[in-house]
Structure 1
Amino acid sequence: MPWVLSAKSTAALAEQAARLRAFVEQRPDADPKDVAYSLTATRASFDHRAVVVGAHRDELMSGLAALSSGTPAPNTVTGKAAATGGIVFVFPGQGSLWPGMAVELLDSAPAFDAQMRLCDAAFAEFVDWSLLETVRGVGLVSMDRVDVVQPVLFAVMVSLAAQWRALGIQPDAVLGYSHGEIAAAYVAGALSLRDAAKVVCLRSRAIRAIAGTGGMVSIARPVAEVFALIEPWTQLICVAAQDSPSLTVVSGDATVLDELTIVCEREDVPAMRIPVNYASHSAHVEALQEPLRELLSGLQPRTGEIEFISAVTGAGIDPSILDGDYWFANLRQPVLFEQAIWWSYEHGYRTFVESSPHPVLVAGIHESLQDCRNDHSVVGTLRRNEGGMSRFLLSAAEMHVHGTSPNWQSIFDDAGACRIDLPT
Structure 2
Amino acid sequence: MDQLPSDRPGQREQQKTSGLPDFRTSGLPHGEPWDSGRAVAEVLLRAGHETYAAGGCVRDLLLGRVVNDIDVATIAHPEQVEALFAAHGWHTIAVGKAFGVVIVVTPAGQNVEVATFRTDGAYIDGRRPASVIYSTAREDVERRDFTINALLLDLHSGEVIDHVGGRADLAAGVVRAVGDAASRLREDRLRVLRGLRFCARFAFTIEPTTWAAIVATPLTGLSGERLMQELIKALEGPGRAQWLERLWQSGHLPGLCAPLATVDVPALATLGRRLDGLLAEDPLALRLALWLSPLPLGPAKAWLTAQPLPTAVVRSVVWLLEQGRSLTDLSAQRLANRRRIWRHADGRWLGRLIPLLHDDPAQSEAVRTLMDELAQDLAKPWTPLIRADDLIALGLLPGPRLGALLRDIEDADLEGGFHDRAVALADARRRIADGGKPG
What interval of TM-score do these two structures reach, taking the shorter chain for normalisation?
A: under 0.3
Higher relative contact order (CA 8 A, sep 6+): 1
Higher normalized strand content (fraction of residues): 1
Give the TM-score of the pair, scaled to structure 2.
0.23
Which of the pair has more CA radius of gyration? 2
